[in-house]
Amino acid sequence: MTRPWPPNESTRNYYLKKYTTPVASAVSTVCATLAVTPLENIKTRMQTHNFKNISQCMKYLWRTEGPRGYVAGALPPLASVTVVRVVNFTTYNASKRTISDAIFQATGFDALEHYAQPGSRPTIASVATFTAAGMLAGLASAPIACPFELAKNVVQTSVLVANRSQAAPDAAQDSTLRSKPRVGTFEAIGQIIHRHGVRGLYTGFHLHMIRDTIGTGLYFGIYETVKQVTASQIGQDKSPFGGPMIAGAICSTVPWFCTYPLDTRKTRAQSVLLGKNKEIGEASVAVAKSSMYRGLSIILMRTAVNNIILLSLYELITQKINNLEN
């Protein structure tokens, strides 16, 4: 009888240690993404319709779409973000070593070795290493993330776009809106390809690429720097719920102030890909009236919670795997 994988503890530990980064990033991403899906749905609608505030958006969403509106489009981000995060962390870890080696050859200073020393403080070389590696990670993952994020945006806003005339916050109560058909994930992808070709899946890609390159560079640069400063101030905390939580909250919110207008423009361009010509025109006019920073408060809340969970779990899982016997 064939024994199930893993055949023994030694083999299991070998593969876990060999693929520590993919395993830790995938598991932590799934948990973090599921936790913030309702907030992601509210953020997308805030960006694509002229709601006055979060409360108004939530009430409208509940009235027109019910509970399903808060979890719509969960599959694309769960699948894509997991793959993207694995690519992000893997590319980042490989790139920072390469960049650090290049700096060492040019200056004789090893940024990663300095960073690993207890009580060390950030340097220009270390910040540049982490930021540049993060930018490469964002650039590498953008082609993978764009089609899935586009599908998510289309699915989440399909009811809103198709019923634009009924989407006004002061519209009369209409119990039939909850039963309106929603475009499914794979149906959305199929319709986009049929109407716009494969290139349609990369609508807004240039904005997506710029957003992810800048945002991921800031993300990792700030995360590693804040974690290092925190460790030097409060001591080397071996718990993943100390420095990583603080650094995760800060590194996830700051980049959005720089990249949110890009994300809003990208989301608006993607959300009106489907629908009748009249609906698309009405949707385009409606979103043009709203601020490029609309929905920023909800995204800051979402991303803070997401990355506190993500990075704390990532550090915890990495720590547990590293402590396994060889």
pLDDT tens-place string over residues 84-102: 899 999 999 999 999 999 9
> What's the whole-model pTM score?
0.75
Q: Where are the alpha helices (DSSP H) in 49-123?
A: 54-65, 68-71, 75-107, 111-116
Closest CA to 38 of 69, 66, 5: 69
What span, in angstroms and rounded, lies between the C-alpha atoms of 90 and 137? 8
Q: What is the mean pLDDT of residues 71-84?
A: 72
- The region that residue 73 occupies, defined by phi over 0 for left and psi between -120 and 50 for alpha, beta otherwise, is left
Q: Residue 1 above 60 pLDDT?
A: no
Does the structure show a pLDDT above 80 at 279? no
Chain centroid to CA 132: how far?
19
Report the alpha-carbon distance of residue 253 to residue 249 in Å, rounded: 7
Judge whether 252 and 219 are in contact, CB under 8 Å: yes
Over the stretch 284-313, which tens digit does the pLDDT of each residue have? 444 444 455 665 677 788 888 889 999 999
What is the token pair recorded at 320? 């547990």
3-state helix, strand, coil in the chain (%, to 5): 80, 0, 20
The better pLDDT of the pair 91, 178 is held by: 91
Question: Sorting pLDDT into bands at 50, 70 and 90, what band is 106?
Answer: very high
Q: What are phi and psi of 72, to 5 degrees?
A: -60, 140
The rounded distance, in Å, linking the Cα atoms of 134 and 141 is 11
- Compare 308 and 280 and report the one with higher pLDDT: 308
Which is the CATH superfamily of the domain at 18-164+179-322? Mitochondrial carrier domain (1.50.40.10)
pLDDT of residue 170: 45
Do the beta carbons of residue 138 and residue 216 sit within 8 Å? Answer: yes
Examine the pLDDT at 58 and tell me if it is beyond 60: yes
Q: Average pLDDT for residues 21-25, to the nearest whole number?
A: 93
Contact (Cβ atoms closer than 8 angstroms) between residue 257 and residue 151: no
- Residues ≥6 apart with Cβ < 8 Å to 291: none
CA–CA dist 63, 98 (Å, integer):
53
- Please return the burial class of 117, using the count of CB atoms within 10 Å of its CB with bins 0-12, 13-18 and 19+: exposed
Is the model's pLDDT at 278 over the cut of 50? no
To 5 degrees, how large is the angle CA 69–CA 74–CA 79?
170
Confidence of residue 79 (pLDDT cuts 50, 70, 90): confident
Where along the chain do its domains lie?
18-164+179-322
Least confident of 118-132, 273-287, 296-310: 273-287
Residue-wise pLDDT for 197-230, tens only, equals 888 888 888 888 999 999 999 999 999 999 998 8
